[in-house]
Structure 1
């Protein structure tokens, strides 16, 4: 564009100079011999412009060549980056697939852990239940054992010798000399045995009769009801009598011995007259 502008300017100048020369020729004959510089200068300028234009064309060609090389390099780089991007996208897809697989495996493991925990919790609950049942059985056995440890033996007199009776009514016999009283079911103050649990109990009683005007007789009593009786009439010396029974008692039932009215029993430091009983088994 600059070359074209300069060329136009030169043409304008030359045209003006030509006009002035013509005017001078018309006004003065001497001016016809004046030289005309414009065409030769114009040729020199055109040659210079041609050279400059060729140089510019060469430079533009070189620049275009460089630009084409740069464009090819950029295209190659772009292709390489696109190739890498494709690889990255493939890798991302692989990682996403792997992540999904790992998430699925993790969920499966969590489900397995939950299932195992539930199974363990159920087993633990069952174990606790069995443990509680075992503890209850052990406690029941302990109670049965503790309850089953019921037995006593007692004789009539703590010391000395003598007879009990006669009385004008049936009288409860209190055996005061306690040899054993396991479970504390017998009372040496009232003479009664109170059953601690429902079960089968066995009782025995012995007494010694003294010769004299009164006979000897004792009754085994359950809750005020006569069960068995033992009696002896001794006209000379000493005699003895005994009896026993196995009774089904409820918890709280009372068993004791009664001296029959107008009868007597004898005892001394040898403890002939005695009352004993024990629990056979609870029911």
Structure 2
């Protein structure tokens, strides 16, 4: 009887202990959070790895193909760029050649203009020389009628009024002066006549106030004539004229005995 009681008590204690342990496990399970529990990840199976590898291989092949296409496109673009660079160099070369050609043409045109200007200047100079080279005059003392000039107690400049020719307008009948228009060689001739009486005729040719040549005569009756001529190198602006000596006479009439003439031989 005592043994049976002890056995029952022991079973009760075991039951209680088991229930307590089960309650403690339930409480422990409730207190532990999923985050604090290090649950191992599921490991992929071999079939999943093969699938991933195949996909990566396909993507790698696609990337390689894309890289090859990009390389080919890059090579094509480089080839086109090289062609463009060649064309640009050719165009630059052509432009340089055109610029050189234009410069040569401009230089030739400038030279042609210079030669044209020189030719025009030469032609103009020849025209001027021709126009200036046409210098000649001839005049007699009296414009009309007849008469004797002098004697006068001083030298006087003779004004030859009857102008036969005055090419180049270098002689002035108002002053009796011939003014050289250009530098050159000029030839002059002068004739004077005296008509009887006791006075002689004497005329001298003067250049810029300098006595050059003289023509004189002495005749007691009738007519007496004198003449002379000279070639002079004159500068432009030099003046040549005739003067009647002091107390001398000169005669002229409609027959034009007393004359003064001159012309340009050639310019210098």
Counterpart of 1:252 (choices 206, 214, 237) is 237
Partner of 1:275: 260
- The match for 2:225 among 222, 240, 252 is 240
1:105 aligns with 2:90: yes
Report the Cα distance in structure 2 between the residues aligned to 1:83 and 1:250, rounded to whole angstroms.
Answer: 97
Alpha-carbon separation, structure 2, partners of 1:146 and 1:91? 80
CA–CA separation in structure 1 for the residues paired with 2:141 and 2:207: 19
Q: Which runs of 5+ in 2 are unaligned?
A: 1-53
Cα distance in 2, alignment partners of residues 260 and 126 from structure 1: 61
Partner of 2:18: none
Find the partner of 1:172 among 154, 157, 176.
157
CA contact (8 A) 1:211 1:233 kept: no
- Residue 121 of structure 1 aligns to a residue whose secondary structure is helix
> What residue is the counterpart of 1:197 in the other structure?
182
Aligned to 2:112: 127
Name the counterpart of 1:155: 140
Matches within 5 A, 1:139-150: 139-150=124-135
Equivalence for 1:219: 204
2:180 and 2:85 map into 1 onto residues whose CA distance is 76
SS at match of 2:248: coil
1:196 Cα deviation (Å)? Answer: 2.2
CA shift at 1:221, angstroms?
Answer: 1.0
Counting only pairs closer than 5 Å after superposition, residues 49-60 of structure 1 correspond to structure 2 as: none
Name the residue aligned to 1:137: 122
Give the conservation status (yes or no) of the 8 Å contact 1:172–1:258. yes
Deviation of 1:149 after TM superposition, in Å, equals 2.3
Superposed displacement of residue 273, structure 1: 1.0
What TM-score results when the alignment is normalised by the length of structure 2? 0.70
Deviations 1:72-96 (A, max 9, x none): 9xxx999999888776555434322
1:237 & 1:185 partners in 2: Cα distance? 35
Q: Verify: 1:230 aligned to 2:215, yes or no.
A: yes
CA distance in 2, matches of 1:218, 1:270: 19
C-alpha RMSD of the superposition: 2.7
State how many pairs are aligned.
214
User: Which residue of 87, 94, 99 corresponds with 2:79?
Assistant: 94
TM-score, length of structure 1 as denominator length = 0.66
Larger proportion of helix: 1
Consecutive unaligned residues of structure 1, counting only runs of 5 or more, are 1-67
